[in-house]
Amino acid sequence: MRVERLFYFLLYVSPPPAQLILAKSTRRTPPRVVSVAVMENALNLRSSGEQRIPEGLYERVLESASNLVILDTPHGDDVLSSFRQTAQRRGHSVYAWSAALGLASLREHGITVAGSKRLPDALRFVLQSSHFGVYVFPSDKREFTPQIIALLRQIARGKEGGDKRVVVMGHDMEVSTPLDRLATLVVHKHGPSQHFRLRDGRWVRG
């Protein structure tokens, strides 16, 4: 009799198998984070000497298959200066984001986008815009919350509207899934290459 009561007690308190399976299947796996510099699908560009920007970098951004470009560079300030000169020369709409100003035009000094000082608001503006534009954002890890990652995914997957490119720029960057597959990854290295090549009958680095 005691054994029978124990059996019914265990049957009553044990959760049904379906609940166990549901609990197991809804457990989220943390996203994988990988250094951009070691990604096999990254585009590697190099500069050396006084030329601190890879030749044709801006064109690479425009030709990107994805609306989202993740740029790992040791010379972010020089990249912004180069983009500013290109925007002024070609008349392109190029913006750089900062917490102090929001989205600020690199083509016209003093022109900013109202209500874009918060990063989520700036990204939503980019999503809703139907005009051509290049938007540069710094890769501050403190800013990249799950909400921001979700907005970047939407931008990377965007198919409609005018041409736009969002450039997330920093140095020694890490990218999490699925952005490593959705974005165009560009790695800029400065200095002589570690590979040897033949020049004037001699093997030299570069």
DSSP characters over 133-180: EEEEEE--TTT--HHHHHHHHHHHH--SSS-EEEEEEESS-EEETTHH
Evaluate if pTM is beyond 0.95: no
Report the Cα–Cα distance between both ends of the chain, in Å, rounded. Answer: 86
CA 88 to chain centre: 25
Residue in this structure with the two tokens 């699925």, named with its chain if needed: 178
83, containing H or E segment = helix 76-90
Number of residues that this document lists for the chain: 206
Determine the Cα–Cα distance for residues 54 and 61; give it in Å rounded to an integer.
Answer: 12
Q: Running along the chain, 206 residues long, what does each successive block of 10 average in pLDDT?
A: 48 43 45 68 84 91 94 94 97 96 96 96 94 92 84 85 85 86 91 60 57
* CATH classification for the domain delimited by 33-192+200-205, as one of 3.90.930, 1.10.10, 3.30.70, 3.40.50: 3.40.50
Domain residue spans of the chain:
33-192+200-205
197, containing H or E segment = strand 196-199
Type of residue found at 149: I
Task: Look at strands 33-35 and 164-170 and give their pairing.
Answer: unpaired
